[in-house]
């Protein structure tokens, strides 16, 4: 008899944000795999839930070590509830490895949908939300972070990042340097909690604010690259590529940037650049 893996959405801050289904599954699950046992007990107290299932820690440093035991429990017919500290499991949180292992083993997987910092931040950011992408945490090292941001310079969708408070100022400054100081963004701090704060404004302004020191859990929302009208005339295309090169891009990256902005075939832009070189 095969068991069932349940992914539970934990509250970001307010216990009342979760519904009765999570309470029911917490009380009835055979195994509760949790990121932090202290948070589990606090949540159970807030929700007035009494659980009888076995508790297993499941965080980044023990994720691989816990997989065999959890898979054995599922194979024996157990219902395993996976809870992270906040939000949905596997979204920049533990869970992906267990989900993949369960899929490969043919174990049924379901969820008790709950709060998500990604969609919550998007909703309150005031930025376009018809199209967006989630980029998780930016690299800790400055060079790698700038390189990642440079790869997103032409992204037109609204972008969502997670960031630690002590790296926020540097990340905002790097984003301002890559995306432009005037690019609109929103810093969402301590979502749904007592000291919730939403700061909206240009990246440069937010970087200056964050330099004074920020605490709490951070979700950063950044507007996508604006569409830049570029004439389809070959001379104008060549000029657009030249402008990208003047800003430090390689010829290859400059052509790619213009392709992204215009939607034209790469060959069309390349031929325009060649034609501009001819006497």
- In tens, the pLDDT along 130-171 reads 999 999 999 999 999 999 999 998 899 999 999 999 999 999
Q: Is residue 80 domain-shared with residue 111, that is, in the same domain?
A: yes
Which of 115, 130, 156 terminates a domain? The answer is: 115
CATH of the domain at 25: 3.40.1010.10
Q: Is residue 92 domain-shared with residue 188, that is, in the same domain?
A: no
Spatial CB neighbours of 68, under 8 Å, sequence gap ≥ 6: none
Nearest to 12 by CA among 125, 88, 111, 123: 88
Domain that holds residue 253: 234-277
Query: What SS3 string covers 59-74?
Result: CCCCHHHHHHHHHHHH
Q: Is residue 259 domain-shared with residue 188, that is, in the same domain?
A: no
CATH of the domain at 196: 3.30.950.10
Q: Is residue 42 domain-shared with residue 71, that is, in the same domain?
A: yes
The total number of structural domains in the chain stands at 3
**27 falls within a domain:** yes
Mean pLDDT throughout 93-102? Answer: 93
**128 falls within a domain:** yes
Q: Is residue 165 domain-shared with residue 213, that is, in the same domain?
A: yes
Asked whether 220 and 163 are in contact (CB, 8 A), the reply is yes
Q: Is residue 110 domain-shared with residue 122, that is, in the same domain?
A: no
**191 falls within a domain:** yes
Q: Is residue 139 domain-shared with residue 56, that is, in the same domain?
A: no
- In tens, the pLDDT along 82-94 reads 999 999 998 888 8
Q: Is residue 59 domain-shared with residue 42, that is, in the same domain?
A: yes
Residue 264 confidence (pLDDT) = 75
Q: Is residue 38 domain-shared with residue 14, that is, in the same domain?
A: yes
Q: Is residue 170 domain-shared with residue 269, that is, in the same domain?
A: no
> Which single residue is written with the structure tokens 């996976």?
82
- In tens, the pLDDT along 211-250 reads 999 999 999 999 998 776 556 788 888 888 888 888 787 8
Q: Is residue 24 domain-shared with residue 40, that is, in the same domain?
A: yes
Q: How far apart are CA 159 and CA 186, in angstroms?
A: 10
**228 falls within a domain:** no
- In tens, the pLDDT along 166-218 reads 999 999 999 999 888 888 999 999 999 999 999 999 999 999 999 999 999 99
Q: Is residue 100 domain-shared with residue 129, that is, in the same domain?
A: no
């Amino acid at each position: 008899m095969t068991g069932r893996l349940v992914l539970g959405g934990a509250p970001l801050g307010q216990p009342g944000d979760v519904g009765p289904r999570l309470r029911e599954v917490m009380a009835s699950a055979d195994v509760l795999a949790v990121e932090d046992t202290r948070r589990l007990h606090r949540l159970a107290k807030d929700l007035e839930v009494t659980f009888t299932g076995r508790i297993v820690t499941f965080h980044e440093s023990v994720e691989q070590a816990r997989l065999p035991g959890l898979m054995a429990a599922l194979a024996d017919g157990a219902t395993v509830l996976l809870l992270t500290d906040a939000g949905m499991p596997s979204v920049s949180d533990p869970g992906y490895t267990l989900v993949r292992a369960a899929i490969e083993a043919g174990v049924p997987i379901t969820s008790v949908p709950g709060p998500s910092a990604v969609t919550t931040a998007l909703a309150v950011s005031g930025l376009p939300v018809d199209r967006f992408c989630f980029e998780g945490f930016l690299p800790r090292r400055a060079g790698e972070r700038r390189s990642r941001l440079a790869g997103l310079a032409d992204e037109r969708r609204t972008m969502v990042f997670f960031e630690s408070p002590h790296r926020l100022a540097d990340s905002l400054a790097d984003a301002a340097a890559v995306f432009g100081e005037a690019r609109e963004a929103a810093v969402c701090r301590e979502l749904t909690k007592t000291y919730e704060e939403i700061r909206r404004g240009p990246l440069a302004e937010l970087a200056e604010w964050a330099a004074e020191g920020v605490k709490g859990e951070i979700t950063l929302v950044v507007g996508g690259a604006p569409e830049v009208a570029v004439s389809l005339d070959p001379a104008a295309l060549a000029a657009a590529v030249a402008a990208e090169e003047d800003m430090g891009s390689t010829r290859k990256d400059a052509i790619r940037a213009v392709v992204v902005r215009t939607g034209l075939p790469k060959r069309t832009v390349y031929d325009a650049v060649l034609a501009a070189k001819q006497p």
